[in-house]
Structures are given as C-alpha cells and as structure tokens.
Amino acid sequence: MFTLPSIWNLLITTIVFIWVAKRARGFLDNQGLSNGTTRSLLVFTLASLLSWGSGEVVDWTEAKIQGKPQTATRSTQEDIAQLLEVLNQVQSANQTKPSID
C-alpha cells in the first residue's frame, strides 16, 4: 500500500540526488564525455537510483527505530475464496437473465 514519505526521506533523497548528479557530471567532464541527451539520461538515472536507495535506507532505519506499523493482511486462501464467490454470483446472474434474441 502506498504511504507518503517522511520529511527525513524527502530531505535526504533530495540532498543525495543533487550531490550524485553534481559528482557524476564532474566525473563525466573529467572523462571527456560530451554533453548530450545520453549523458543527461545517464546522470539522471544514476542520481535517481542512488536517491531511491537512500530513501529506502531512511525508511528502514525509521522502521527499526519506531517499530514497524501493524498492517492488516489476509491470506491468499481467503482472497481465492472471495474471488470464487464473486465469480459464482456473476455466473448465476448471467444464467438467470433472459436472452434477447
């Protein structure tokens, strides 16, 4: 389920993204790679992946410090039983309808 990120997550991922993007651009400048779309996409992808990873570390750390919130989970057997029940209801509703021919 989707949850909003914490303030720490937003701050740290933003800082990591900016830092990695600057470092990657500097490294590629030193390597002599010319500016272009491919280089920009490479920098963006690298910064995004490392930023996302740092966000996951922040979330993991917060969960360890504060304790993981309890979420309601259902077993797969219950899901399958509910799905079969709905399918049977639809099938019986279709059989009782008079056909328009």
Instruction: Give the pLDDT confidence of 12-48 residue by residue, as tens digits.
Output: 999 999 999 999 999 999 999 889 999 999 999 999 9
Domain housing 50 = 1-67
What separation in angstroms does the CA of 10 have from each of 2, 91, 98? 15, 48, 58
pTM of the model: 0.62
Average pLDDT of the segment spanning 50-62: 92
As a whole number of angstroms, the distance between CA 21 and CA 11 comes to: 16
- Tell whether 79 is covered by a domain: no
8-state DSSP, 36: S
- Tell whether 84 is covered by a domain: no
Counting the structural domains of the chain, the total is 1
